[in-house]
Amino acid sequence: MSNRHLSRSIILQTLFEWDFPSTSSGQARVEEIYPVFEKNIREFAPGTNDRPFMDHLLRQVLEKKRDLDILIEKAAPDWPIDKISVVDRNILRIGLAELLFADRQEVPPKVAINEAIELAKTFGGETSGRFINGVLGAVYKEMGEPGKFDVPKAKKKYGNVPMDKLPVIRMAGAVVYARHESNIYLALVHDVFGHWTLTKGKLEGNESEENGISREAQEELGVPITIIEKLGENSYSTKNLLWRRRRSRGDWMTCAGSNLLTS
């Protein structure tokens, strides 16, 4: 086992021991984790020279835990954080902390994902590797896949299924604007990655794109909108958790009128 992989394993073991009691007796306290951390270093890596890496990674997971958990639930909406196994959710916390906050020269995004998958294969259940890969892969794609071409392309695991044969996730998005005198204002939402983006979301049941984007604008922006025209439609393949699917999104031009400027 490499030094760096051993270091991540010790962080996982520490988080597991710290987090496990919280599943039955409430939230574990942060200060309780450090004696566990020291014990695991003495037991599994006495004399290690990788202590700075372990200290930094553990501190990042603890400091960003709330944000990491929110991101996990957004990437895996069918899995509330308390329903994910203790091992898997802490592997995700480690993987996301490295994926989002690590120095990419030291830990490239692909390395962060692959290391998390290896932890899942070693310490998780039968489907943990696929689950971790799906969640981290979804976040990686939302990030714009940094470093995608820095490593050889992995072999496809899902086969060459034609786009028109994939299950479809129907979505809608909108450019929401308001005009005041000679000025035009755009409405953007702040996503979990810290980026400003257009309002968008999944359609419910047989909901039309027009009704869906009106609902999303009301939920995300808090204003009613007027549909003006459709700008276009985009379809692309994505891997979400254990499945490969096709996302189909219609984008619309809409106007919020003076409501946008007074909300």
Same domain? For 47 and 136 the reply is yes
Residue 218 lies in a domain: yes
| Helices (H), ranges, 124-250 | 128-142, 209-221
39 with 129, same domain: the answer is: yes
Higher pLDDT, 236 or 256: 256
Question: Is 157 within a domain?
Answer: no
Looking at the fold, whether 102 and 141 belong to one and the same domain comes out as yes
Q: At residue 50, does pLDDT exceed 80?
A: yes
Q: Tell me the average pLDDT of the chain.
A: 83
Tell me the mean pLDDT in the region 179-203: 80
Whether the predicted pLDDT of 243 surpasses 70 = no
Confidence grade of residue 92 (pLDDT, cut at 50, 70, 90): very high
Rounded mean pLDDT, 2-8: 90
Q: Are residues 115 and 177 in the same domain?
A: no
- Residue 155 belongs to some domain of the structure: no
Domain boundary (127, 150, 173) is at 150
Domain assignment present for 158? no
What is the C-alpha separation between 34 and 209, in angstroms, rounded? Answer: 51
Both 125 and 247 in one domain: the answer is: no
Instruction: Tell me what percent of the residues of the chain surpass a pLDDT of 70.
Output: 78
Mark whether 113 and 184 lie in a shared domain: no
The last residue of one of the domains, among 150, 171, 189, is 150
Residue, of 195 and 151, whose pLDDT is higher: 195
| Segment 128-161, tens digit of pLDDT | 999 999 999 999 988 887 776 664 444 454 455 6
| C-alpha closest to that of 236 among 228, 246, 226, 244 | 246
Read off the CATH number of the domain in which 176 is found: 3.90.79.10
Q: What is the pLDDT of residue 194?
A: 64
- For residue 223, give the nearest of 186, 191, 263 by alpha carbon: 263
Tell the residue number behind the tokens 């450090």, with chain if given.
Answer: 34
Would residue 156 count as lying in a domain?
no
Of residues 190 and 96, more confidently modeled: 96
* Residue range(s) defining the domain that contains residue 249: 163-262
Statement to judge: residues 15 and 96 lie in one domain: yes
Measured on CA atoms in the order 19, 25, 27, 31, is the torsion positive or negative? Answer: negative
Q: What is the pLDDT, as a whole number, of residue 115? A: 96
Instruction: Provide the CATH number for the domain around residue 125.
Output: 1.10.940.10
Do 133 and 240 share a structural domain? no
pTM tops 0.85, yes or no: no
- Could you tell me the CA-to-CA distances from 244 to 73, 98, 109, 159 in Å, in that order? 19, 25, 21, 10
One domain, residues 24 and 86: yes
Domain boundary, last residue among 104, 126, 150: 150
**What pLDDT does 22 receive?**
58
In a domain, 241, yes or no: yes
188 in the same domain as 232: yes
When pLDDT is averaged across residues 98-121 and rounded to a whole number, the result is 94
Q: Same domain for 137 and 50?
A: yes
State the pLDDT at residue 196.
84
Same domain for 209 and 126: no
- Whether 256 is in a domain gets the answer yes
Task: State how far the alpha carbon of 143 is from the alpha carbons of 59, 61, 154, 236, in Å.
Answer: 23, 19, 19, 16
Domains held by the chain: number: 2
CB 202 within 8 A of CB 169: yes
Stretch 238-255: mean pLDDT, rounded?
58
